[in-house]
Amino acid sequence: ADIICVIHNGNIVESGSHEELLALGGRYYRLATKGMS
């Protein structure tokens, strides 16, 4: 299984699968959905 880590200011702020990170609604979600609407 792949794990994606979101790094902000040198720290891992989120980690998980694509689906898990989308469900969190955090930084990864905002990046992944930017421009999709």
3-class secondary-structure state, position 20 = helix
CA distance 34 to 37: 8
For 11-34, write each residue's pLDDT tens digit: 999 999 999 999 999 999 999 999
**Token pair recorded at residue 27:** 């930084």
CA distance 21 to 37: 18
pLDDT at 8: 96
pLDDT at 37: 61
3-class secondary-structure state, position 12 = strand
